[in-house]
Structure 1
Amino acid sequence: MGDQASSVRIMLVDNQEFARRGLGLVLADQPDIEVVAEAANGSEAMSLAAALHPEIVLTEARLPDLNGIEMTRNLLRHKDRPKVVIVTSFDSEEYLLGALQAGACGYILKSTKVDELLNAIRAVALGGAVICPCMTQRLIRKMRSRPPLIPGGGARMLDTLSDREFEVLAHISVGKTNSEIAKEMGLTTATIKSHVSSVLAKLRLRDRVQAALVGYEAGVALRGPAGNGHAPTSSSA
């Protein structure tokens, strides 16, 4: 992944120049990451994204003109639909849930270690979703106090999933990437992508982050692949 052609194109958005430049210097040392733009506010970020087409946007949750959640919604209306990860010092379940509902692929605290942040960026680039581990249990508690994404917990809609699709949803719910799921289930990445697409279509969800939220709501992530009456699949294709 060291050549420029395979580098992940990233835009940084943070109104604090020191934080933005510091993160930029860290990412500049990574051969598989290219910082293509920096923005100090949401409006500037929207313009730069339209012109430069970054693959991933790392943004602070609180910005002076357009907060990270609003910006996420706006960015995902674009044809290119960059992946958005909130990187913030704002430790809030409300912001975390709001960001994921808006379509963000992750929520990382600025106190996260550099290696963990880099791993999170690479996981998102591969199609994964990342949540700071210290906030995962708080997210689950918060979700218990809000209306579900699928009315009634989605039990009937979950029953439309095949055993393999249900197992894929269980893996998505704990944040695994397609390649990790493929290795776990003994299938190809292309097959997993097909199953993910089918899960999203059957549950009428926008992306795998919403699928992860639905999995949390339904307890899929807690019960594991054999939950909801579905038998675990074998490792054969």
Structure 2
Amino acid sequence: MKRKLLFISFLAVLLVTGCSNDENQTKEEENNEQDIVQNETNKEKKSLEENKKITKNLQQEKGVISGQVIEENDKVSALIEIEEKVNEKEANTLAEKYVRELKKVFKNQDIIVKVEKEGKVIAKISDSDNEAKDKNIEEKESKSKTTPSNNITLKSLSEKGGLTLNSNPITQQISVVIDSSALSKELANKKATDIILEVEGKEYPFTVNPFKETLFEVQNTDFTEKQLLAAIIKIK
């Protein structure tokens, strides 16, 4: 009888403990669900606030008539209407800017920005377009750092004895003459058509001297000797 009472008591303890564990587990699950719902609510609230902020900034941009940001599943899009005076280049710049702004907020969503003028889409940029452009810029910058420049200054050629500046006493114009045979290292296997004279942003092609094929020249420039010595030779 005593053993029977002990067994019943033990069984009762197990039942109470089991019920208590179930209740604790249920409460924990409920708390977790509440936390998840609260987190989602907070995210939606923050997303809505950021959406309003970006939309407000967008509408205040110069040349913008109206703008709105739309969230749809895994995609966020912005539609911008611009004034007639805004050109296509400015429209693309604006679209690129807001793709980046939206991507800062909606990191895991696809972004697309359209710019319309007089009912026609004149710019359409996505985050993948921006990423490809940024990658291309990075590659070019990296290449420019690792690849030596092919440009040579006329001053350096003058110091090596491969440059002559011939001044016309009547017109005061100056012709630039390069002796390619004296610059075999810099102009190895190069033709006159492979090099260009650039002075203050303007480019001038070289031609072969009719009397000596190793001489490349640009005739009758309107620059001073000082300007020419600061110029560069661009080698293709």
Per the shorter chain, which TM-score range?
under 0.3
> Which one has more relative contact order, counting CA pairs under 8 Å at least 6 apart?
1
Whichever structure has more helix as a proportion of its residues is 1
Question: Which structure has the bigger radius of gyration?
Answer: 2
Whichever structure has more strand as a proportion of its residues is 2
